[in-house]
Amino acid sequence: MSIRRIDPIKRYLILAEGYSDDLHYGKTARGVIDYGPHPVVAILDSRRAGELERGIPVVATVNDALCHGPTTALVGVATQGGRFPPAWRALLRSCISKGLDVESGLHEYLGDDPELADLARRHGVELRDLRRPPGDLSVPTGEGLEVAARIVLTVGSDCAIGKKTVALLLDREARSRGVASAFVPTGQTGIAIAGWGIAVDAVIADFVAGAAERLVVEGFTRGGTDVLFVEGQGSLVHPAYSGVTLGLLHGSFPHAFVLCHLAGSSEVEGYPGHPLPSLPELIELYEHVALRARPARVEAIALNTRDLDEDAARAAVAEAEQTTGLPVDDPVRFGAARLVDALLARTHPRP
């Protein structure tokens, strides 16, 4: 089996020790709670035990979680560099010895840890590394150019500003209109939500484009025969992750981009001294790097207005429309209808 698939029946305990209220590092937890098909029955964060987070009980220990009937513990944080915080080992051992399967999206694989792997064997549970790539990846074959669906890639000014969420919401809106659409997951949270995918940031660098191509081909066979909404990664102006961004951009052969931006941000988060270009400059940059064999335009902008009140959000949307001349909206706040209208107005190409 060359593309990761996840067991369809589960009840999640999300491990978010120290991060359950952190919007940046807790993005896996948040994505699975808000968009996943599986119930999240408890969240583990000892600092906040007894509280509710999005209506879900927060517990202090794995034992406290058991009365909620979890089947699967999900590592709900994405650390920089993708390594395990050392204090987590005890937590993982506890989950395994209580009979929970464990899913993780970090670069450090649970299954490669001899102690945890041995413990899992003894307790009959599975360790699933969402980011572990298939073993048979290679360079693109060109098959991606033949996919007979319109391919829309979410791109962005930075990481963790909503590229995955926007792709999920656009797909959901398109499907609600009877369009044969599919979400194409390219990262660990998208995989946890959709139950399939490849984390393109975890593959060997030479094979990022090949992995991206395989994902759009798979998305088409999974029912996205009209349109594929591909989850973007990183940013072309991110000093750490731009290589993944460009490999995914070329290998997924998009016809159109949706540019995602956090309203008010002006610097790469966590990288002081790395300024963000303006929206018109970002549009120019993304369109400039598209392959000549598959030119692509930014056709809409998804503005993340989470830091603004509603009036300021509407003003920011209007200002971005003014500046760029493109349809702009915050699909999380105001719904995805306007952006989907704009994206589906184009004819679907048939190669």
Nearest-approach distance from CB 32 to a second copy, in angstroms: 21
Residue carrying the six token digits 């391919």: 151
List 24's β-bridge partners, or say none: none
For residue 237, state whether it binds a second copy (rule: CB under 8 A).
Answer: yes
CB atoms within 10 A of CB 180: 15
Minimum CB distance to a second copy, residue 69 (Å): 35
- Which of 251, 254, 327, 331 contacts a second copy by CB under 8 A? 251
Three-class secondary structure of residue 267 per DSSP: strand
**Coil, helix or strand for 228?**
strand
The window from 20-28, 43-51, 57-65, 139-147 that contacts a second copy (CB under 8 A) reads 139-147
The binding track of 193-232 with respect to a second copy, each residue x by CB under 8 A or -, is: -------xxxxxxx-xxx----------------------
Shortest Å distance, C-beta 138 to a second copy: 4
Give dist(CA 69, CA 57) in Å, integer. 12
Q: Which is nearer to a second copy, 59 or 236 (CB)?
A: 236
- Nearest distance in Å: CB 136, a second copy: 10
Q: Is 83 in the site for a second copy (CB under 8 A)?
A: yes
Size of the site for a second copy (CB under 8 A): 45
Q: Please, what's the b/e burial string for 198-222 (b: 16 or more CB within 10 A of its CB; e: otherwise)?
A: bbbbbbeeebbbbbbbbbbbbbbee
Residue 24 makes contact with a second copy by CB under 8 A: no
- Told to check if 259 binds a second copy by CB under 8 A, we report no
Site stretch for a second copy (CB under 8 A), options 18-26, 46-54, 87-95, 284-292: 284-292
Q: Which of 69, 223, 264, 275 binds a second copy (CB under 8 A)?
A: 275
- CB nearer to a second copy: pick between 97 and 278: 278
The answer to whether residues 70 and 11 touch, using CB atoms and an 8 Å cutoff, is: yes
DSSP 275: B
Provide the minimum distance between the beta carbon of 58 and a second copy in the complex, in angstroms, as a whole number. Answer: 30
| Distances from the Cα of 119 to the Cα of 114, 124, 131, 222, angstroms | 8, 9, 21, 36
Q: Binding to a second copy by residue 298, rule CB under 8 A?
A: no
Told to check if 265 binds a second copy by CB under 8 A, we report: no
For 171, the token pair is 């797909």
Q: Does 236 bind a second copy (CB under 8 A)?
A: yes
Compute CA distances 98 → 26, 39, 119, 297, 315, whole Å. Answer: 24, 19, 11, 51, 51
The secondary structure of 70-121 as a DSSP string is -SEEEE----GGGPPPTTHHHHHHHHHHTT-EEEE-SSS-GGG-HHHHHHHH
Using the rule CB under 8 A, is 316 a contact of a second copy?
no
Among 245, 252, 305, 324, binds a second copy (CB under 8 A): 245
Based on the shown chain and the rule CB under 8 A, indicate whether residue 273 belongs to the binding site for a second copy: yes
Which DSSP string do the residues of 17-84 spell out, in sequence order? TTTTT-TTTTHHHHHHHHH-SS-EEEEE-GGGTT-EETTEEEESSHHHHGGG--SEEEE----GGGPP
**8 belongs to the binding site for a second copy (CB under 8 A):** no
**Does 86 interact with a second copy (rule: CB under 8 A)?**
no
Of the residues 114, 124, 288, 309, which one makes contact with a second copy according to CB under 8 A: 288
Burial classification of residue 26, based on how many CB atoms lie within 10 Å of its CB (0-12 exposed, 13-18 middle, 19 or more buried): buried
Determine, following the binding rule CB under 8 A, whether residue 246 of this chain makes contact with a second copy: yes
Q: Which of 11, 274, 338, 348 binds a second copy (CB under 8 A)?
A: 274
Q: What is the b/e burial string over 153-165, where b = at least 16 CB atoms within 10 angstroms of the residue's CB? A: bbbbbbbbbbbbb
Binding site for a second copy (CB under 8 A): 80-83, 107, 138-140, 142, 145, 200-206, 208-210, 236-237, 239-248, 250-251, 271, 273-275, 277, 285, 288-289, 291-293
